[in-house]
Amino acid sequence: MVDVKNNRWVVSEDVFASRVMLPDLAKVFEPNGFFEWVMKKTGAESIVIEPGTVAYFVEEGEAVGHLPAGTHTMKSVLECLKVWKIKQATVILTRGEDQHFDIDLYDIPTREDLYVDAEIRLSIQIRDVALFLDNYMGVQSEISFENIRENLIPLITQSVQQAIRMQFFDDLKSGQMVETLSNTISEQLPVRMRRYGFNFIQIQALSVSSHGLDELNAKRNQIALTEQHVQDNLRRLKVNSDLRDQHLSGAIDKIETKEEYADFIARVDKDKLIREDDVEELVFEFDNRKTDRKTLRDHMIRLLDIKRDFELESLSSDFEYQTDITALNREIDLAAVSHTKDSAALVQMLELQKEKRAAQHEQQRADWELWRDKQDVQRDESWEQTLHDRQLKDVEADIAIAESERDSRVALIQDELQNKLENTKLVREQRRKEWELDVSDRESDSQLGRLSALNEINAKFLEDETRLKHEMEELKLDKSSQRRLDEIASLKGSTTEELVALADTENARLLVDLKTNEAATQNNQAASEQAAKAAEEKGAAVAQALKDAMQDVKEISITAITSNSNQTNNSNSPPPPPAPPAPPVTSEWFLRRGDETKGPWPHGDFVGFVKGGSVTVDCQVQKAGTGMWSRAGDCAELSFLFGGDSPPPPPPPPSAP
């Protein structure tokens, strides 16, 4: 935001540039009171631009001047803006000092393809306010620092990256790289930033770091130390050989004291390559054996041979170690190419072997150092045995390592072969199970088909058998019924005695019961007729008596007597006796078809069979308790159901005495 209150212009801290529109410049200096009017008359009216702020005036797209921080009167403004044509103007308020930006760049490749991280602090400023207004600010009222960072910093970052790509890492670490990068960026950015009215000032600070370089330097230092160690061993071996040649040539024959012998060693070992303890050991051996000149030279030569063998063994051990480590690293790289479970296991095993080999090498060097620290002049004889034991242990260790590697490789091969065999077996077993399942499905389908066909045959056979059985039963019943009908037809017109004589026991009993029932029925019918006749006679007598009584009282009052006579007649005449209720039929019935007897059924159910047609007129039936079989049409209780006469009414109750 821009604060123009009380004619004071200042830019907020987070704003890079702001626009102020002045439609009438003279109004800015108009007095608002008496004192301001007095100041205007004296030409002292003013505006204040706060420190750190610069006001650029733009008219019709061209910059006509600027006002630095401070107090400005109308007169001073007009002097600064000599080319003033119209009253309106656009004022751009911006920072007067250089604007600093901190940039962090990551993974920038250098000329040697080494990725580095850079921390840069650079500064920019507005160069052309008209271009800034037209091409960058546009219609915006203000430009913030965040806007500058988002739009211009990527251009600067690209130039910085291009400049870093052209340099080596060692050059980036030098003190002159800040100026070099500033010059390179200043050559690349003007065309890009000129369009927007900006000016790149310089790079003020540069910090370059690289994790990869640190690792690379560590590896380089390790390699350098290893190379230096090997070179020292080689040079030490050469010095020992030269010292041995000097002993063979008889150069020590004239040496009498240990100081002279130490000077002799120093002349041969000018670079001080022989270890101090080895020098002390040689001097000590010389001092102890210098009295016996005959054995001194042989002893010293033998001691130097031991030292030489020790150095050779050390070089050989270091060379073998480096060779083994290189081979293991190559195998690890090859195994890591294929990202499989077996390759991961192989890489893990190789890493373990690498660690074991390094530990073995360190232990070997520690043993040598320990032996060197503990040895003295009396152990020159035991050195060969110790060296032999050490070599024997090394050989045994190498053999054990080789066996372990072979066992590991064999185990891996066996495991891989076992996996292949298991996979093959699994596939074969799966195929076998699929084949068995297919065969089982086919057999099941075949068995189901045969079982279905057999069930159909059995069902058809059972149906035919049932149908034939029913037909045979119906045929037997038909023949039995026909035979019975023929017998009945042949017995038409026969007397009761003949029927009883020809019938079987049951039928004879039924006939007897039937005749007995008929006789009883006739007797009951005659008795009923007599009772009815007696009742009629009694009724006629009563009527005649009433008629006579009525005739006697007719003379007193015809109307009253007639009415009373009618009422008396109605009240005194006995009501007709009610018909007795039909006795409930509670009898039971048997049915015989051929030789098979069925029942008993209650009378109501049996009547339902007759009405339903299950019992015909010619069927043999028997009423429970009678013991006689007869045709259904001949039974009084059933004959009316076959279209015959209705059963006779029940006999009237006997008359009262």
Please say if the pLDDT value at position 557 is more than 60: no
pLDDT of residue 33: 46
pLDDT digits (tens, 9 = 90+) for 89-135: 678 888 777 778 787 877 777 777 777 777 878 787 888 888 888 88
Same domain, 153 and 232: no
Residue 39: band (very low, low, confident or very high) from pLDDT cuts 50, 70, 90: very low
Strand 8-11 versus strand 46-49 pairing type: parallel
pLDDT, mean of residues 223-236:
72
Q: How far is CA 78 from CA 22, 82, 130, 250, in A?
A: 15, 6, 20, 107
Give, to the nearest 10 degrees, the angle between helix 177-194 and helix 153-165.
Answer: 140
Same domain, 369 and 249: yes
Asked whether residue 626 is domain-assigned, the answer is yes
pLDDT of residue 45: 58
What's the rounded Cα separation, in Å, for the pair 312 and 238?
Answer: 11
In which domain, by residue range, is 603 found?
505-573+586-642
Instruction: Pick the last residue of a domain from 95, 112, 130.
Output: 95
Residue type (1 letter), 319: F
Residues paired with 47 in a beta bridge: 72
Residue 212: band (very low, low, confident or very high) from pLDDT cuts 50, 70, 90: low
Please say if the pLDDT value at position 271 is more than 70: yes
Q: How far is CA 107 from CA 117, 156, 204, 210, 616, in A?
A: 6, 16, 21, 8, 117
Please say if the pLDDT value at position 629 is more than 50: yes
pLDDT, mean of residues 316-321:
76
pLDDT, mean of residues 135-141:
81
Query: At a CB cut-off of 8 Å and minimum separation 6, what does 78 contact?
Result: 84
Residue 161: band (very low, low, confident or very high) from pLDDT cuts 50, 70, 90: confident
What's the rounded Cα separation, in Å, for the pair 268 and 287?
Answer: 19
pLDDT of residue 379: 45
Asked whether residue 416 is domain-assigned, the answer is no
pLDDT of residue 376: 47
Same domain, 303 and 366: yes
Give the three-state DSSP class for 624: coil
Same domain, 243 and 370: yes
Report the sign of the C-alpha dihedral through residues 450, 452, 456, 461, in that order.
positive
pLDDT of residue 445: 81
Q: Distance from CA of residue 6 to its chain's centroid?
A: 68
pLDDT of residue 555: 63
Q: Which has the higher per-residue pLDDT, 84 or 392?
A: 392
What's the rounded Cα separation, in Å, for the pair 641 and 569?
Answer: 45
pLDDT of residue 656: 43
pLDDT of residue 652: 52
pLDDT of residue 377: 42
Please say if the pLDDT value at position 498 is more than 70: no
Residue 1: band (very low, low, confident or very high) from pLDDT cuts 50, 70, 90: very low
Residue 581: band (very low, low, confident or very high) from pLDDT cuts 50, 70, 90: very low
Same domain, 225 and 308: yes
Element (H, E) at 299: helix 293-337
Same domain, 91 and 56: yes
pLDDT of residue 6: 55
Residue 383: band (very low, low, confident or very high) from pLDDT cuts 50, 70, 90: low
Same domain, 294 and 186: no
Asked whether residue 495 is domain-assigned, the answer is no
CA nearest to 255, candidates 316, 310, 300, 189? 300
- At residue 341, φ and ψ (nearest 5 deg) are -65, -40
Same domain, 6 and 121: no
Domain count, the chain: 4
Please say if the pLDDT value at position 83 is more than 50: no
Same domain, 9 and 74: yes
pLDDT digits (tens, 9 = 90+) for 22-37: 654 545 555 554 435 4
Mean pLDDT of all residues belonging to the chain: 74
Same domain, 273 and 371: yes
Same domain, 165 and 268: no
What's the rounded Cα separation, in Å, for the pair 10 and 1?
Answer: 9
Asked whether residue 649 is domain-assigned, the answer is no
Instruction: Pick the last residue of a domain from 375, 395, 412.
Output: 375
Q: Which has the higher per-residue pLDDT, 491 or 469?
A: 469
Instruction: Pick the last residue of a domain from 95, 115, 141.
Output: 95
pLDDT of residue 370: 64
First to last CA, the chain: 145
Asked whether residue 430 is domain-assigned, the answer is no
Asked whether residue 300 is domain-assigned, the answer is yes
Q: Which has the higher per-residue pLDDT, 344 or 365?
A: 344
Buried b or exposed e, range 60-77, using 16+ CB within 10 angstroms: eeebbbbbebeebbbeeb
pLDDT, mean of residues 530-559:
72
CATH label of the domain that carries residue 132 = 3.30.479.30
Please say if the pLDDT value at position 177 is more than 80: no
What's the rounded Cα separation, in Å, for the pair 456 and 458?
Answer: 5
Same domain, 365 and 228: yes
Asked whether residue 397 is domain-assigned, the answer is no
Buried b or exposed e, range 369-379, using 16+ CB within 10 angstroms: eeeeeebebee
pLDDT of residue 24: 47
Asked whether residue 446 is domain-assigned, the answer is no
